[in-house]
Structure 1
Amino acid sequence: MAEPSFDNLPDGPGVEELKVPSFDYAKSFAGSKTPIVIDNGSYQMRAGWASENDPRYVFHNVVTKFRNKKISNSGIVLVGNDAYTDSTARSNIKSAFDSGILNNYDVLENSFDYVFSMLGCEGSSIEHPIVLTELLCAPYSTRKSTSELLFEGYSVPSISYTVDSLCSYYNYETSQSRGPSNKSTGLMVSSGNNSTQIIPIYDSRPLLNYAKRINIGGNDLSDYMHKLLQAKYPSFPVKLTNWHTQYMVHNYTYFSSDYCTELAGYLDKSNLNAHDKMIQFPFPVPTREEKTEEELAQIAERRREQALKLQELAAKSRVEKLVAREQELEELQALKEAKDTYSPSEFLSELREYGLKTIADLDDAISKSVAIIERARKKSLGETLDEKPSLPPECPLVDIPDAELDEAGIKEKRKQKLLKANYEARERARQLKEIEQQKKEEEAKKDEEFRLNRFDQWLDELKNRRLSVLSKINERKQKYKELNERRSQAAQARMKNIADLASNETPPNGSSASSTGAKRRRRNNGSADKEDTFGADDEDWSIYRDISKEEDEEEEEEDKLNLNQCNELLERYAPDYLAGLDREAKNRIQNTLMYRFSEGTQEAILDETAAQPSKDEAWQLEIDTAARQYQMHLNIERIRVPEVLFQPSIIGIDQSGIVETISQILKNIKDHPASEFVKNIYLTGGGFAMIPGLSQRLESELRMVMPIGTDIRIHFAENPLLDAWRGAAKWARSPTFSDSCVTRQMYLECGGDYLKEHALSNRYYKATELQPKVNPS
Structure 2
Amino acid sequence: MPFETRPLRQSDYNYFPSTCPIVIDNGGSAFRIGWAGESDPRITFRNVVQRPRHKATGETVTIVGDHDPALMKYFDCTRSFQRSAFDGNVVYQFEIMEYILDYGFERMGADGPEVDGHTNTEPVTKIEYDSWHMKFEAEQVDHPVLITECACNPVQSRAKLAELLFETYGVPSVAFGVDAAFSYVYNQQLGICDRDGIAICSGFSTSHAFPMVSGEPVFEACCRTNIGGYHVTDYLKQLLSLKYPNHVSSITWEKVEELKMEHCYVALDYFSEAKVFQKGAKEAEEKMRCWQLPWVPPPSEEPPSEEELARKAAIKEKQGQRLREMAAAKRSSRILELENEFQGLEFLLQQLENVQESDIASFLSRTGYVSRQEIESALARVTQSLRKARGEQTDIEEKMEPSTSEKYPLIDLPDNILSPEQLKEKKRQLFLKTTSEGRQRAKQKKFEEELERERQNQQDEEKRSLLEIYQASKILNLEMCAWNLSKPVNNKFVIHTSFIVGRTLSFIYNSYVQNIKKFSEKVEQRKRLKTNGSHTNGNNNISGAVGRGERLNAAQRERMRLLTTAAFDRGKGEDTFGAREEDWQLYKLMSKDNDDDDEGPDENEVELNRITCRLQEIDPTFVAKSDAGSVLATEIPRLRPLTKEDFQIILGVERFRCPEVLFQPNMINIDQAGLDEMAGISIRRLPSKGDRLERSINNSIFLTGGSCLFPGIVERVEAGIRKIRPFELPIRVVRASDPILDAWRGAAAVAAAPCFQMQTFSRQDFYEKGEDWLRSSSQRWGFGFQGMRGRCIIAEASHMCYGASPFVNLKEMLVPRMRFNHASPHSFTS
Pick one of 11, 23, 28 that aligns with 2:11: 23
Letter in 1 for 2:210: I
Pick one of 170, 177, 180 that aligns with 1:155: 170
| Pair 1:127 & 2:127 matched | no
| Pair 1:211 & 2:293 matched | no
In 2, Cα distance between equivalents of 1:336 and 1:637 = 90
State the SS of the aligned residue for 2:679: helix
Aligned to 2:648: 631
Cα displacement string for residues 481-514 of structure 1 (whole angstroms, at most 9, x for unaligned residues): xxxxxx99998887668789975989xxxxxxxx
TM-score normalised by L of structure 1: 0.59
State the SS of the aligned residue for 1:125: coil
| Pair 1:699 & 2:740 matched | no
| Pair 1:141 & 2:161 matched | no
Pick one of 184, 201, 212 that aligns with 1:190: 201
In 2, Cα distance between equivalents of 1:113 and 1:254 = 37
In 2, Cα distance between equivalents of 1:300 and 1:672 = 99
Q: How does 1:615-626 map to 2 (within 5 A)?
A: 622=641, 625-626=642-643
Cα displacement string for residues 723-764 of structure 1 (whole angstroms, at most 9, x for unaligned residues): 110011111112332343211122123334642555234234
Aligned to 1:55: 41
Pick one of 239, 244, 247 that aligns with 2:255: 244
Aligned to 1:404: none
Letter in 2 for 1:259: Y
Quote how far apart the aligned CAs of 1:81 are: 3.1
Aligned to 2:440: 358
In 2, Cα distance between equivalents of 1:145 and 1:488 = 77
Quote how far apart the aligned CAs of 1:184 are: 0.8
Quote how far apart the aligned CAs of 1:131 are: 0.6
In 1, Cα distance between equivalents of 2:9 and 2:274 = 50
- The more displaced of 103-112 and 489-498 is 489-498
**Does structure 1 retain, via aligned residues, the 8 Å contact 2:676–2:718?**
no
**Does structure 2 retain, via aligned residues, the 8 Å contact 1:348–1:358?**
no
Cα displacement string for residues 349-382 of structure 1 (whole angstroms, at most 9, x for unaligned residues): 41687797234639999xxxxxxxxxxxxxxxxx
**Does structure 2 retain, via aligned residues, the 8 Å contact 1:354–1:519?**
no
Aligned to 1:41: 27
Aligned to 1:657: 674
State the SS of the aligned residue for 2:25: strand
Residues 490 and 700 from structure 1, CA distance in 2 versus in 1: closer, same or farther, beyond 3 angstroms?
Answer: farther
Pick one of 804, 810, 814 that aligns with 1:763: 804
Residues 764 and 708 from structure 1, CA distance in 2 versus in 1: closer, same or farther, beyond 3 angstroms?
Answer: closer
Aligned to 2:106: 117
Aligned to 1:275: 287
Quote how far apart the aligned CAs of 1:57 are: 1.0
Quote how far apart the aligned CAs of 1:193 are: 0.4
**Does structure 2 retain, via aligned residues, the 8 Å contact 1:355–1:505?**
no
In 1, Cα distance between equivalents of 2:38 and 2:432 = 113
Aligned to 2:705: 685
Aligned to 1:81: 66
In 2, Cα distance between equivalents of 1:42 and 1:308 = 80
Quote how far apart the aligned CAs of 1:82 are: 4.3
State the SS of the aligned residue for 2:209: strand
Cα displacement string for residues 122-145 of structure 1 (whole angstroms, at most 9, x for unaligned residues): 331010001111111222332222
Letter in 2 for 1:151: F
Letter in 2 for 1:681: I
Cα displacement string for residues 130-171 of structure 1 (whole angstroms, at most 9, x for unaligned residues): 111111122233222212211111111111011111111121
Q: How does 1:126-525 map to 2 (within 5 A)?
A: 126-176=141-191, 184-236=195-247, 238-271=249-282, 272-288=284-300, 293=305, 294=307, 333=402, 338=407, 342=411, 349-350=431-432, 357-359=439-441, 361=443, 522-523=589-590
In 2, Cα distance between equivalents of 1:177 and 1:645 = 23
Residues 85 and 40 from structure 1, CA distance in 2 versus in 1: closer, same or farther, beyond 3 angstroms?
Answer: farther
In 2, Cα distance between equivalents of 1:488 and 1:196 = 64
Letter in 2 for 1:672: G
In 2, Cα distance between equivalents of 1:353 and 1:311 = 47
Residues 634 and 125 from structure 1, CA distance in 2 versus in 1: closer, same or farther, beyond 3 angstroms?
Answer: same
In 2, Cα distance between equivalents of 1:720 and 1:693 = 15
Residues 744 and 488 from structure 1, CA distance in 2 versus in 1: closer, same or farther, beyond 3 angstroms?
Answer: farther
Aligned to 2:696: 676
State the SS of the aligned residue for 2:723: helix
**Does structure 2 retain, via aligned residues, the 8 Å contact 1:150–1:156?**
yes
Quote how far apart the aligned CAs of 1:650 are: 0.9
Letter in 2 for 1:20: L
Residues 276 and 163 from structure 1, CA distance in 2 versus in 1: closer, same or farther, beyond 3 angstroms?
Answer: same
In 1, Cα distance between equivalents of 2:316 and 2:208 = 73
In 2, Cα distance between equivalents of 1:346 and 1:21 = 105
Letter in 1 for 2:703: L
**Does structure 2 retain, via aligned residues, the 8 Å contact 1:254–1:642?**
yes
Aligned to 2:85: 96
Residues 663 and 20 from structure 1, CA distance in 2 versus in 1: closer, same or farther, beyond 3 angstroms?
Answer: same
State the SS of the aligned residue for 1:350: helix
- The more displaced of 625-634 and 194-203 is 625-634
Letter in 1 for 2:207: T
Quote how far apart the aligned CAs of 1:176 are: 2.6
State the SS of the aligned residue for 1:264: helix
Letter in 1 for 2:697: F
Residues 499 and 84 from structure 1, CA distance in 2 versus in 1: closer, same or farther, beyond 3 angstroms?
Answer: closer
Quote how far apart the aligned CAs of 1:702 are: 1.7
Gaps of 5+ in 1: 1-12, 366-486, 507-517, 533-547, 561-605, 609-620, 769-777
Residues 520 and 138 from structure 1, CA distance in 2 versus in 1: closer, same or farther, beyond 3 angstroms?
Answer: farther
- Rg larger in 1 or in 2? 2
State the SS of the aligned residue for 1:656: coil
Quote how far apart the aligned CAs of 1:642 are: 1.2
In 2, Cα distance between equivalents of 1:305 and 1:488 = 57
In 2, Cα distance between equivalents of 1:303 and 1:496 = 53
- The more displaced of 356-365 and 706-715 is 356-365
**Does structure 1 retain, via aligned residues, the 8 Å contact 2:662–2:674?**
yes
In 2, Cα distance between equivalents of 1:237 and 1:172 = 42
In 1, Cα distance between equivalents of 2:159 and 2:313 = 80
TM-score normalised by L of structure 2: 0.55
Quote how far apart the aligned CAs of 1:113 are: 1.4
In 2, Cα distance between equivalents of 1:733 and 1:342 = 129
State the SS of the aligned residue for 1:121: coil
Residues 269 and 176 from structure 1, CA distance in 2 versus in 1: closer, same or farther, beyond 3 angstroms?
Answer: closer
Residues 490 and 177 from structure 1, CA distance in 2 versus in 1: closer, same or farther, beyond 3 angstroms?
Answer: same
In 1, Cα distance between equivalents of 2:526 and 2:759 = 87
Quote how far apart the aligned CAs of 1:708 are: 2.5
Residues 157 and 556 from structure 1, CA distance in 2 versus in 1: closer, same or farther, beyond 3 angstroms?
Answer: closer
Letter in 1 for 2:651: L
In 2, Cα distance between equivalents of 1:352 and 1:276 = 85
In 1, Cα distance between equivalents of 2:294 and 2:45 = 26
**Does structure 2 retain, via aligned residues, the 8 Å contact 1:648–1:657?**
yes
Residues 741 and 631 from structure 1, CA distance in 2 versus in 1: closer, same or farther, beyond 3 angstroms?
Answer: same
Letter in 1 for 2:705: G
| Pair 1:708 & 2:727 matched | yes
Q: How does 1:583-662 map to 2 (within 5 A)?
A: 622=641, 625-662=642-679
Give aligned pairs, total: 528
In 1, Cα distance between equivalents of 2:13 and 2:300 = 59
Gaps of 5+ in 2: 112-137, 335-380, 386-397, 413-425, 448-519, 534-550, 557-584, 600-625, 782-794, 810-830
- The more displaced of 142-151 and 293-302 is 293-302
